Amino acid sequence: AVAVETSTIGPAAVEWLATRLGAGGCGLVDAPVSGGVALAASGGLTIMAGGTAADVERVRPVLDAIGSTLFHLGPVGSGATMKLAVNSIIHGLNAAVSEALVLAESAGVERSAAYEVFASSATAAPFVLYKRAAFEHPEQADVAFSLDLVGKDLDLILALAERTGAP
């Protein structure tokens, strides 16, 4: 058997889980995903997988059902590591876009016009594009990522940085 773990957790937790599962003869692929709810519904998520090549190939049909892009990044824990790196960028982008919109609006630029520039310039990352409605009309947007989960991610990112000696 091969278990697939898709949570946003630290690589140390994934490695702990892999050891326990391995003792019972079960492999593990850590395969956290990136993308919003719409991409999940359409099977268009990006999957960041860690595990043996054989285990990743064994679960590929399951992963292909939820994602359009699969990166096998190395041993167990690599997927979790990459997910934290991606979320580090996402959380930074979220703050930067918010602050830039406030800056533009405070200086008299209409919000939709400012966002059109963001979406058409070097800042047009996929996150900026698919979060447009939420930034332009925050009063109508559902909460897609709660602050307690952001805090959890930032704690995991800091723990990984400390573990690896990264500043």
pLDDT value of position 35: 87
Q: What pLDDT, on the 0 to 100 scale, is given for residue 146?
A: 87
Task: Take residue 30 and report the two structure tokens written for it.
Answer: 């850590």
- What pLDDT score does 56 carry? 98
Mean pLDDT score of the chain: 95
Confidence class of residue 155 from pLDDT cuts 50, 70 and 90? very high
Provide, rounded to the nearest whole percent, the portion of the chain with pLDDT above 90.
87
- Which residue, 154, 117, 146, 122, is CA-closest to 132? 117
> CB–CB of 120/132 below 8 Å?
no
Distance CA 22, CA 53 (A): 15
Q: What is the pLDDT of residues 23-62, one digit of tens each?
A: 999 999 999 999 877 788 899 999 999 999 999 999 999 9
Instruction: Please list the active-site residues.
Output: 83
> Which pTM does this prediction carry?
0.90
Tokens of 49: 């997988």
